[in-house]
Structure 1
Amino acid sequence: MKRQHAIKPTVDSRRQWGAMLQALGVATRDWASSDGLIWLHLLKTVTAGLLALGIAMLLDLQQPRIAMTTVFVLMQPFSGMVLAKSFYRILGTAVGTVAALVLGALFVQQPELYMLGMICWVSACIAAAVRYRHFRWYGFVLAGYTAALIGIPNVTEPHGLFLAAFTRAAEVAVGIVCSSAVSALIAPQRSSIALRRALQIRYMNFTVFAADVLGRGLERGQFERRFADLVDEIVGFEATRIFAAFEDPAMRSRSQHLGRLNGEFMGACARLHALHQLLKRLRASGSRRIVEAITPYFRELSALIAPQPDAVDDASRVAARLRVFQTTLPRRVRETRRPLEAAPAESLADFDTAAELLYRFVDEWIGYSETYASLAQRKPAGRQRFASRYVSKTNGFVVAFTFVRAAVAMAVVGCFWIATDWPSGGLAVIGAALACALTSTAPNASKMTVQMAVGATLATMTGYLFTCYVYPNIDGFPLLCTTLAPVLALGAFIATRKLASGYGIGFAVFFCLLAGPDNVVTYAPDLLINNGIAVTASLLLAAIVFVVVFPAGMPWLTERIKGDLRAQVVFACEGELQGLNQRFQSSTHDLTSQLRMLLTRHSRRRRDALRWMLVTLEVGHAVIDLRNEVARAPYARALHPRWSRSLERTAADLAQLFIQPDSHGLERALVSVRSATWTAQDVLETVHTDRDKRHDLQRILSCLHFIRTALLDKDAPFNAR
């Protein structure tokens, strides 16, 4: 008995220790996947910066601090991001070096003309960066910024331009190599892993969203907010896919597969929105009998796609269940329709359209689930579809105004420098160019620039302390690294904060640029303060220019972008059908994302932009469906003399309505849709005995009816006017 009493506490204590260790392991994994990643990023950033500084000093380069600055401009949490940035930075640096040399050769001893050429070059590069986003943006930005960094300090000393160009290129190259090597070799954080995790989260979130919409319905505001989040995910997915392609050969080989997945996700979102809109209109119109007839299918579908614990296997199972549902759906719909045939023609058209949209949504969801499951399991896709590339679109006025803003900011600083012969004027011009470049795609460029100015001020003050009290009292590179590491880590940490990133970027970049150590340290506090004042003043001036000269959020510009968004319906009416669906969807989502970034959150203009996007997707998709169905029914042209003319008139009037939305255009479009519907009904009576042709005409009528209900929707933005 004593032995048992002696053993029992030991067993209990082991269990307690095991539970404690298990809880500690869970907590450690949670920390490692959240805050731990931030600390790892800080460690890698500081390591890469100090390594670049040491190598540049070892190679006896003129300004090793430029190599360290390059690291802080370049470093990203994921290795794929750094590799992508490095690739485009190399291209941008090479082009910028050549541009600086060419301008120097053309305008020898002519600082005014040289400055004019430099302003035009840098502004053009920044404007091109806005037009070509993602990491192409970074290549264009570096082409302009590198030219300024090399050429501006040598405006009055052209004989040193050639040597300065190659020295600066070497310093930048050291920073590129160090940041890429540290990111890829020290605990690399693969963006491909993040991409897979994001796909899983997106599939689960969309499944919950779709189940809520189909099962219980959502209020208008709640639906719009959740749908807007999906738009942001679609646009962000493309950038992440590019990152992953740079680091993972498997992801690079499956890039088309990923593109098709994003296209099918866009299609499923659009079909879900169409179902939601039609059901909302049926309830608003009081079609109780039709709602009661179609609601059981919605609820059954909601139960079929309800999320399960295992997301990967669930996608395969959901696709299999939906295939069975899709196979039996036509027969069940016909049985449900028979008792409704005595109902008015309008109500019967509502039921037919709802059934058609339900079938199309199920088809899109099956494709999306199969593609997602095959990607997650790294197997070939279940069915192959045409996959066109993601098409981004930027308004030409946005590009032109970006050029003008950058040119004005740099011209004001440059003219002041040349007129006053300010010793730190060249650095002020570089600061203005840097502000214009780094904030070119920021949602609020002036706010971020002010944050960078505050960060530059703090960097100047910290640099003064290092120049006067730290550098003179240390000896050796290890001690230098020890003193620099906390300051650099602080700047990198603040830069990871979403709402305060400008402070961190300004502090880290300008501390390295203003007070970073060189092989021969110059103890000149007055020069440091003067340079700091120049940089801060140029950043504040750039912020004022961003607010005064063609501000990004001005109503006129957002209306132009909104006009581009509405013009997507014109594209749907007139574009080539091959791959039209994905091209239409991707460019529409891209324009909407730009509007959401420019407009203030929770503002009326932002909600209006989202509603234009929703009605554009709704009508545009229906027009593309209509054109596809008409293309599958070429025999109808010979059966009715007004067939082609009525459909062409419908497309033309819809396009005109979205180009110039007004009551007259709306009335004209409704008349055209009604005329095309009558024509299709006449053809349907002609081919009624042929089952396949009858189904073709019924699908065409469903498309026309859905377009008509979308135009009559009281919540549509052109009706709100």
Structure 2
Amino acid sequence: MKRQHAIKQVSSDTFGWRAGLLRAVADASTEWATTDGLIWLHLFKTVLAALLALGIAMLLELQQPRTAMTTVFVLMQPFSGMVLAKSFYRIVGTFVGMLAALLLGALFAQQPELYMLGITAWMGACVAAAVRYRHFRWYGFVLAGYTAALIGIPTVMEPNGLFLAALTRAAEVAIGIVCSAAVSALIVPRRSSLALQNALQSRHLNFTAFAMKVLDGAVERGTSERYFADLVDEVVGFEATRAFAAFEDPGMRSRSQVLARLNHEFMDVCARLHALHQLRKRLRGNPSVQVVEATAPYFHELSQLLGANKERRFDSSDAARVAIRLKAFQATLPARMRATRRPLESDEPQCLPDFDTAGELLYRFVVEFIRYIDTYASLETNHNPARERPPVRYVSRTNAFVVACTFARTAAVVGAISWFWIATNWPSGGMAVIGAALTCALTSSAPNPVRLALQMSVGAACATIAGYLVTCYMYPAIDGFPLLCAMLAPVLAVGTFFASRTKTAGYGVGFTVFFCLLAAPDNVVVYAPDLLINNGIAIAASMLVTAVGAAIVFPVQMPWLIARIEGDLRRQVTLACTAPLMGLAHRFQSSTHDLMHQLRMLLPKRSRRHRHALRWMLVTLEVGHAAIDLRSEIERATYASDAHPRWKHSLDRVTGDLAQLFERPDKAHAERTQISVRAAMRVVQQVLEAVHTDREKRHDQQRILSCLHFIRTALLDKGAPFDTR
């Protein structure tokens, strides 16, 4: 019996050890499949699409099959929706660039000086427009620019071959587009729609956890600023993902406007939460601690309601349950707040403005969260209340000086290399101009174009060496297309691997793109290593010139240029104070986040200037939202002008002084704005006493007082970035 028991024990231990090993292997495999496995999948699909495009172009006997390969490497993205979106804009950009090349060739036939002047102006205009219209529209403008250079420069002195070259290039690009889209969508596709849904769930769960900490007063110093800074990137990234998810999924396309509204409503909820957090932070340093104690139960109750769902997934049914609980809380909140307020009227009347403002901000946060959660809950249902509201549009803003500097920088680089080519009759000068045009275009949206251009130059130099070795030793020993693919695949895979890594993306892009342009095989391979080396030197030199130009000709990180963007960020308050109210909240929110995203791209993270810009964004959102709320309440309470002749004038003066303060934030404007806010509060208080018997009118004036009081606390905040010296 003992022996049998021992045998069973050994068998059980062996089975348990094997089961544990299998679980560990399964967990490791799952982790690899969701991290490095995705990189290797993207690498395999990219190389496969490139070789497929090369084979089809060779089969059709096109002039330069390498163009189809280059198209694939420029086009391929991890998600199929991104590939389809880029394909659409690439088709449009290629067509426009082809027309521009034909028009310039017709106007300046066999006149290289005028033709290159036109190409330079066209490139500068396209790259500047790409900076103005970002995301995947950027790609369309970039393609329109350097497609004209790729088509026109080789045939600048042969106008008779220009039309045929344009048609041939269009066919080669079309093959690359079709191969990229087909491989991305048919072979183990990664759907942008699924990534968008996962991002929605993750963002909501993270925000709910952070909101609970804010409501419970458990947020550490500096944590809130870092969290709201990260939300800027999430909001902008969500908008970009929503745009290209519509290209791959008809369901996402039909819900695109609903998702856009959901993103805007999420921005509204974040802004309300930040305002609530700021007020509570200011009240802790206020002698009126009774307000914190009186409102704490409501904040804690709301925190418990938000944290009722403990699951790591959040779907429409969960959102519907949260919405029901929040609506019940909202329905009873005003009456309960009034009951809590009554003892303060006799015991602590000086605390009433703080209490009323805290209650108003809490109520507005609940209202915005319910609106957001209702839209979230209706994403998977046929009836969506968001469709019944006016459509919203994400508004991006780019400073005019940034656009002008981009045009000047691109024109200076392309113009200088074009002049050198014409003046010296350099045989590889045309390739140098093409390399400069490509580099200026591809680095136009980079936060550090100098570093990216240098990385691309190193990648192009390596591509030249690899191309020389392939041309001299590989192509002569290859017989047949299958062997050609087998020999090219490792070379292309190396470049794709580096391009898929963030820190080495420039090296990979430079290697893959220019290896295809320099050394990819044609139908009839020409053995000309000297031409390959000369063209490689020309491309690497043009990239170095581009890096120098980006460093000295209006560099993107110039202090005065960043100061211009910061000025645009502050002037968002002017927009909130003066623009028409219809759709103003959405325009204000999206453009403010877009400007801050630009600053986050340009300024080093955790630097003093980054923290300064972030504080301006947060106070701009606070005061801007309060100004919009104030103007909305003023529109509804026009009757108050009869109760006090200075009511409208005093409130208009507040919005005017706010706009001037954010235009020129100095001590004089800050003091004048504080004086106008206090004067307006006195006038509104007099109107409140005059209409006290009318419940609706009394509540109107109390909301206006709450807006003014919050603006006043924001102006008096010692952590605000106003220059009060």
Shorter-chain TM range is over 0.9
* Distance in 2 (alpha carbons) for counterparts of 1:322 and 1:387: 25
Corresponding letter in the other structure for 1:88: Y
1:423 aligns with 2:427: yes
Deviation at 1:318, TM superposition (A): 2.5
1:624 aligns with 2:625: no
Do the aligned partners of residues 675 and 524 (structure 1) sit closer, same or farther apart at CA in structure 2, a change above 3 Å counting?
A: same
Q: Counterpart in 2 of 1:637?
A: 641
Corresponding letter in the other structure for 2:650: S
Q: Counterpart in 2 of 1:264?
A: 265
Q: SS of 1:422's equivalent? A: coil
Contact in 1 for aligned 2:596/2:614 (Cα 8 Å): yes
Segment drifting more, 149-158 vs 423-432: 149-158
Contact in 2 for aligned 1:713/1:719 (Cα 8 Å): no
Do the aligned partners of residues 152 and 343 (structure 1) sit closer, same or farther apart at CA in structure 2, a change above 3 Å counting?
A: farther
Q: Counterpart in 2 of 1:705?
A: 709
In percent, how many aligned pairs have the same letter?
67
Deviation at 1:33, TM superposition (A): 2.1
Q: Counterpart in 2 of 1:311?
A: 314
State the number of aligned residues. 720
Q: Counterpart in 1 of 2:71?
A: 70
1:168 aligns with 2:169: yes
* Distance in 2 (alpha carbons) for counterparts of 1:184 and 1:249: 14
* Distance in 1 (alpha carbons) for counterparts of 2:10 and 2:590: 65
Q: Counterpart in 1 of 2:325?
A: 321
1:203 aligns with 2:207: no
* Distance in 1 (alpha carbons) for counterparts of 2:548 and 2:375: 49
1:408 aligns with 2:412: yes
Corresponding letter in the other structure for 1:380: H
Q: Counterpart in 1 of 2:562?
A: 558
Deviation at 1:708, TM superposition (A): 0.8
Q: SS of 1:390's equivalent? A: coil
Contact in 1 for aligned 2:570/2:662 (Cα 8 Å): yes
Alignment of 1:485-524 (within 5 A): 485-524=489-528
Deviation at 1:11, TM superposition (A): 7.7
Q: Counterpart in 2 of 1:594?
A: 598
Segment drifting more, 259-268 vs 29-38: 29-38
* Distance in 2 (alpha carbons) for counterparts of 1:481 and 1:586: 47
Normalised by the length of structure 2, the TM-score is 0.96
Contact in 1 for aligned 2:667/2:724 (Cα 8 Å): no
Segment drifting more, 276-285 vs 218-227: 218-227
Segment drifting more, 305-314 vs 665-674: 305-314
Q: SS of 2:693's equivalent? A: coil
Q: SS of 2:393's equivalent? A: coil
Deviation at 1:470, TM superposition (A): 0.9
Contact in 2 for aligned 1:680/1:697 (Cα 8 Å): yes
Corresponding letter in the other structure for 1:637: S
Structure 2 unaligned spans of 5+: none
Q: SS of 2:503's equivalent? A: helix
Do the aligned partners of residues 473 and 346 (structure 1) sit closer, same or farther apart at CA in structure 2, a change above 3 Å counting?
A: farther
Corresponding letter in the other structure for 2:62: L
TM-align CA RMSD: 1.8
Counterpart selection for 2:652 from 641, 648, 651? 648
Segment drifting more, 418-427 vs 520-529: 520-529
Counterpart selection for 1:718 from 696, 718, 722? 722
Corresponding letter in the other structure for 1:692: E
* Distance in 1 (alpha carbons) for counterparts of 2:347 and 2:701: 20
Q: Counterpart in 1 of 2:290?
A: 289
* Distance in 1 (alpha carbons) for counterparts of 2:430 and 2:346: 82
Corresponding letter in the other structure for 1:311: F
Listed one character per residue, the Cα deviations across residues 488-542 of structure 1 (whole Å, up to 9, x for unaligned) are 1111111111111101100111111111111111222211111111001100110
1:579 aligns with 2:580: no
* Distance in 2 (alpha carbons) for counterparts of 1:667 and 1:246: 52
Q: Counterpart in 1 of 2:53?
A: 52
Alignment of 1:44-193 (within 5 A): 44-193=45-194
Deviation at 1:15, TM superposition (A): 6.5
Q: SS of 2:398's equivalent? A: coil
Q: SS of 2:188's equivalent? A: coil
Q: Counterpart in 2 of 1:33?
A: 34
Segment drifting more, 623-632 vs 610-619: 623-632
* Distance in 2 (alpha carbons) for counterparts of 1:76 and 1:588: 29
Deviation at 1:620, TM superposition (A): 0.3
Counterpart selection for 1:535 from 535, 539, 544? 539
Alignment of 1:222-237 (within 5 A): 222-237=223-238
Deviation at 1:692, TM superposition (A): 1.5
Deviation at 1:354, TM superposition (A): 0.5
Deviation at 1:308, TM superposition (A): 1.2
Counterpart selection for 1:337 from 338, 341, 351? 341
* Distance in 1 (alpha carbons) for counterparts of 2:269 and 2:358: 16
* Distance in 2 (alpha carbons) for counterparts of 1:279 and 1:261: 27
Counterpart selection for 2:692 from 685, 688, 692? 688
1:394 aligns with 2:398: yes
Structure 1 unaligned spans of 5+: none
Deviation at 1:716, TM superposition (A): 1.1
Counterpart selection for 1:464 from 448, 461, 468? 468
* Distance in 1 (alpha carbons) for counterparts of 2:148 and 2:54: 22
* Distance in 1 (alpha carbons) for counterparts of 2:224 and 2:19: 46
Q: SS of 1:498's equivalent? A: coil
Deviation at 1:219, TM superposition (A): 3.7
Segment drifting more, 21-30 vs 360-369: 21-30
Listed one character per residue, the Cα deviations across residues 358-393 of structure 1 (whole Å, up to 9, x for unaligned) are 111111112222222332x44534675444211111
Corresponding letter in the other structure for 1:613: M
Q: Counterpart in 1 of 2:619?
A: 615
Q: Counterpart in 1 of 2:436?
A: 432
